Amino acid sequence: MMNIEQDIAQVSRQEQRLQFPSFDADTAWTLGSRLRQFAKERNLAIVIDIQVNNHQLFHVAMPGVTPNNADWVRRKRNLVEHYHCSSYLMKLRLQHQKANLEDKTGLNPRDLVAAGGSFPILLKGTGCVGTITVSGLAQRNDHALVVEVIAEHLQLPLAELALSAH
């Protein structure tokens, strides 16, 4: 259980630190393009989606993904929009409680899923205004990729923010 507790604390820390002073379509393009560059360099089959206030500002499906990946993006994004926390943090909390989303909340798993890869776009002093979502890797890796790109963009040291290797 200690690893889950450490991960919960670290993902909470990520959400506290990875907040934007502002966020617009140019920011979405910069972040989405960087995620796409990482996907190309690392040969990752992922879908990348960035939305603000229910407006899709960036979306790309890399070679090798299926329509199923886009559905995972939608469900993860819906969870973040509902709870204003990362989909991986919700996954870890439920795992720690030995619970599942549907039993705990009554929400339909066809519409929301607690699986890593969607991170809230948090504006300093405002809160959650959107989502950055990746789907196609193992959920911990989906989450880590989004965190890596946000940390780089905000010029924060990834070493302090990354999850420990399991």
Run of H or E including 15? helix 2-17
Condensed to tens digits (0 to 9), the pLDDT of residues 21-43 reads 999 999 999 999 999 999 999 99
Asked if 147 and 137 count as a contact pair (C-beta separation under 8 A), the reply is no
Residue that has been written with the tokens 């809230």 in this structure? 120
- Structure-token pair, residue 68: 């199923």
Condensed to tens digits (0 to 9), the pLDDT of residues 73-95 reads 999 999 999 999 999 999 999 99
Q: What is the pTM of this model?
A: 0.95
pLDDT of 157: 95
Q: Quick one: CA torsion of 141, 46, 116, 113, rounded to 10 degrees?
A: -160
Domains contained in the chain, CATH given: 2-161 (3.30.450.150)
3-state secondary structure of 138: coil
Closest by alpha carbon to 86, among 115, 47, 53?
Answer: 115
pLDDT at 64 over 90: yes
pLDDT at 1 over 70: no
pLDDT at 122 over 80: yes
pLDDT band at 2 (very low <50, low <70, confident <90, very high): low
Query: Which residues contact residue 33 at a Cβ distance below 8 angstroms, ignoring those fewer than 6 apart?
Result: 58
